[in-house]
Structure 1
């Protein structure tokens, strides 16, 4: 099971995982924090890139630079429209197969292995519960 704790603090809001990592959460007018929507987009990007990078490297094609932009416009005031992942890649010099390998791996990861992207595409329910 995946789980995080989100709580209000004296400085705003913080999400914390069981390993002690934290992320500051706030509104779009608060400096130095992520908004919840930005965290969702970061989760999509992170899920893809942390899977793509080791798989391409394992195949002997480590990209000289690997980064992405993940974006979505709002379809309504409280709903995002389609999410777009745009990779920005610098291929390793002299590696003629690197682009083909990267594109194939990235497509397979997106379609089959990224839990976050697959969950969004499937549209799973979100339940609300209250502790007694």
Structure 2
């Protein structure tokens, strides 16, 4: 892989079951195991899925009209079975409204295609989940 493709997030423990993820631009988000405030890692996964596909759809539709409502809801079931802990039944639901008129009509017309394109090829998060990309793990212990 190259510098063009590499993405990095650093996750540091900030306390018992509390972590902070920092990206290369210096933005940070704190999260935990669900025992306290903030998102859990599973909720962040759902947010990443909704945010990724939402961003794709927003880029395509806002060329025609600014939405008056744009909500993406992502759901799934967290299970534990012979394959381990995992999410199943992932579903992404869009609720989008555009203003009346020619521009709004154009945005509404391309909305289904934009959602399909995001799901089928553009959204890196959904494509990674659906293709079951392997995860490599290394350890540096001191």
Same fold? TM cut 0.5? yes
Task: Tell me, in whole angstroms, the C-alpha distance in 2 between the residues paired with 1:41 and 1:10.
Answer: 24
- The answer on 1:126 being equivalent to 2:130 is no
Find 1:82's aligned residue among 66, 89, 103: 89
Q: Which runs of 5+ in 2 are unaligned?
A: 1-5
Residues 1-132 of structure 1 mapped to structure 2, 5 A cutoff: 1-10=6-15, 12-31=18-37, 33-58=38-63, 60-76=64-80, 78-94=85-101, 95-131=104-140
TM-score when scaled to structure 2?
A: 0.83
Q: Which runs of 5+ in 1 are unaligned?
A: none
- TM-superposed deviation, 1:13: 1.1
Task: Tell me, in whole angstroms, the C-alpha distance in 1 between the residues paired with 2:19 and 2:88.
Answer: 26
- TM-superposed deviation, 1:131: 2.9
Cα deviation digits, residues 47-100 of structure 1 (max 9, x gap): 111111111122x13322111111101232611102100111112212333322
- CA RMSD across the alignment: 1.7
Task: Tell me, in whole angstroms, the C-alpha distance in 1 between the residues paired with 2:111 and 2:55.
Answer: 13
- TM-superposed deviation, 1:102: 1.1
Q: Which runs of 4+ in 1 moved over 6 A?
A: none
Task: Tell me, in whole angstroms, the C-alpha distance in 2 between the residues paired with 1:29 and 1:88.
Answer: 31
TM-score when scaled to structure 1?
A: 0.89
